[in-house]
Amino acid sequence: MTTDFDHRLSATFDEIVGHTPDIGPTPSLIVQLGTAPGPRRSRARLVYAASAIVVSAGGVLWVTTAGDRAAAPASMLSVATTPLTPTDPAEQQRADDFVARDVLAQHREMRTQVGLDDADGPAPIAAAPWATDPVPVRGEDRPNPTGGPTLFPVLDSPPLDIRILGASILYESVSLRAQTKAVVARVEDDGSMSELYTFVVGEGAVAYEDLGVVVDSTVPEVVELSGFRYAGWSVDGVPVVVMATDPLELLDDPGFSMRVGEDDRGNVTVTYPSLPPDFTELVAPQALARQAATARLRLIVPEAESDVGAVWAGLDNPLANTNLTEGTTITPTEVNERGAWIVSNAETDHRSVVFSPDDVSWLLVGWIGTEADLLDIAGAIEFTPADQIGAWMTRYDVTLPAIALDPTPS
């Protein structure tokens, strides 16, 4: 029996469908034809993401610059083996070539787009062509409760003249598509954010798309760490930190570091030797600390020989992040049938699923949440050899240039 409610539903779907985009031309198969998305494309996204680093949920990216081979835990690396062993050396080589050439070219292109020469230093915050007017963000230093460096200015005190945003990319910046999406918000004089754009970076074009969205939550904050400034805010309750500097510079910045080690019980440990003891304030400022319980955790464990030790970025749940302080132990508990590695954080009682595609480079990205979430996600990802990384990239937007993972237990 058709009810009034049914009519309402149909009519509403009519309206939604009425906004369907034109299908446009047939998608190009230049890349995909013959092979499903493979490491090269994935790596492309991977590395391209690194050239436009965005960290969301207050998550900030740390890269060790003094990795310790001995600290690379064999027990952890050993799970990164089958069934995802690479089978195509040529593809791997293309990926490596891409890393060496194309990504740098893309990075240069991005710099060009914001008016920078190659020889210029980190992109100034005001470099973006759309940042035509300085936006005053008023802030004052927030005392560090542990007496360490001051991290966060807060609103409504001495003005800090900063333009938001430079070559800024927000969370969800990497799609599985061949393009990288970015979101740019403009901060008004009163500190609120009134416009939100997405644009697509890729193929040399920058297209703006006005979503017509008014950002509802907005406490822009400015963070300065190791000489780099970040603009951060919350969008729809999602805390976001945007790095307003050159990501490649960041990778070289010894001020950001993290190490993955192994304790005497064989547990993986994460330490942050070069950050203030209360660095979690950085990823979990008080204003952003009341977030939903669901969270994602990113952990990238590169090869032991690299001088880049590990990368970690928290996402979505500052509450969880706050528990991942120095000495936090993450314990692998099981490896599921898909090769996903389940870990538990004993201190937070969260569980994460850690995927370990072993044809590259990086272990993992995970999810902290309920067990149902965990299992749901673990079941949702299709670990086919060809598109596994693509699948990953649909989910996670902060990545690093390819770093080979040594899957062999030492």
Partner 1 sequence: MGMDVMQPPRLVALDDHNRLVDAAWRTHAPAAMRFATVLVGPADAHDITTTAFLRVVGQPAWTEIDRLDRYLLRAVRNEAQNLYRQRRRRWQRDLAALRPDVVADSIPDVDLLRAIAALTVRQRSVLFLAYWQDLTEAEIADTLDLTRSTVHRTVVRARTALRKALT
Return residues touching partner 1 (CB under 8 A).
5-6, 8-24, 26-27, 29, 32-37, 172, 175-177, 179, 196, 198, 209, 211-214, 235-238, 296, 373, 376-377, 380-381, 387, 391, 394-396
Q: Under a CB-based contact definition with an 8 Å cutoff, are residues 196 and 229 in contact?
A: no
Minimum distance, C-beta of residue 52 to partner 1, in the bound complex (Å): 17
**What angle do helix axes 39-50 and 89-97 make, rounded to 10 degrees?**
20
Residue 23 or residue 90: which is nearer to partner 1 going by CB? 23
**DSSP designation for 180:** E
Handedness of CA 278, 368, 397, 82 (dihedral sign): positive
Residue 65 or residue 198: which is nearer to partner 1 going by CB? 198
Angle at 34 between CA 31 and CA 36, to 5 degrees: 65
Two tokens at 307?
């001088």
Minimum distance, C-beta of residue 135 to partner 1, in the bound complex (Å): 21
Separation of alpha carbons 321 and 354, rounded Å:
16
* Tokens 């004052």 found at: 140
Minimum distance, C-beta of residue 156 to partner 1, in the bound complex (Å): 26
Minimum distance, C-beta of residue 237 to partner 1, in the bound complex (Å): 7
Residue 185 or residue 250: which is nearer to partner 1 going by CB? 185
Residue 78 or residue 179: which is nearer to partner 1 going by CB? 179
Minimum distance, C-beta of residue 198 to partner 1, in the bound complex (Å): 7
Residue 201 or residue 235: which is nearer to partner 1 going by CB? 235
Q: Under a CB-based contact definition with an 8 Å cutoff, are residues 64 and 259 in contact?
A: yes
Q: Under a CB-based contact definition with an 8 Å cutoff, are residues 175 and 181 in contact?
A: yes
**What angle do helix axes 388-395 and 39-50 make, rounded to 10 degrees?**
30
Minimum distance, C-beta of residue 108 to partner 1, in the bound complex (Å): 26
18-57 as b/e: b if 16+ CB within 10 A? eeeeeeeeeeeeeeeeeeebbbbbbbbbbbbbbbbbbbbb
Residue 4 or residue 118: which is nearer to partner 1 going by CB? 4
Cα 362 from chain centroid? 13
Minimum distance, C-beta of residue 315 to partner 1, in the bound complex (Å): 9
Report DSSP letters for 328-393, one per residue.
EEEEEEEE-TTSPEEEEETTTTEEEEE---TTSS----EEEB-HHHHHHHHHHS---TTTHHHHHH
**DSSP designation for 288:** G
Minimum distance, C-beta of residue 23 to partner 1, in the bound complex (Å): 4
Residue 111 or residue 351: which is nearer to partner 1 going by CB? 351
Sheet strands (E) in 118-171: 135-141, 153-162
Sheet strands (E) in 272-326: 295-300, 311-315
Minimum distance, C-beta of residue 295 to partner 1, in the bound complex (Å): 12
Minimum distance, C-beta of residue 86 to partner 1, in the bound complex (Å): 19
Minimum distance, C-beta of residue 306 to partner 1, in the bound complex (Å): 28
Residue 11 or residue 119: which is nearer to partner 1 going by CB? 11
Residue 71 or residue 378: which is nearer to partner 1 going by CB? 378
Residue 42 or residue 274: which is nearer to partner 1 going by CB? 42
Report DSSP letters for 61-85, one per residue.
-EE-SS--GGGS-HHHHTTS-TT--
Q: Under a CB-based contact definition with an 8 Å cutoff, are residues 98 and 361 in contact?
A: no
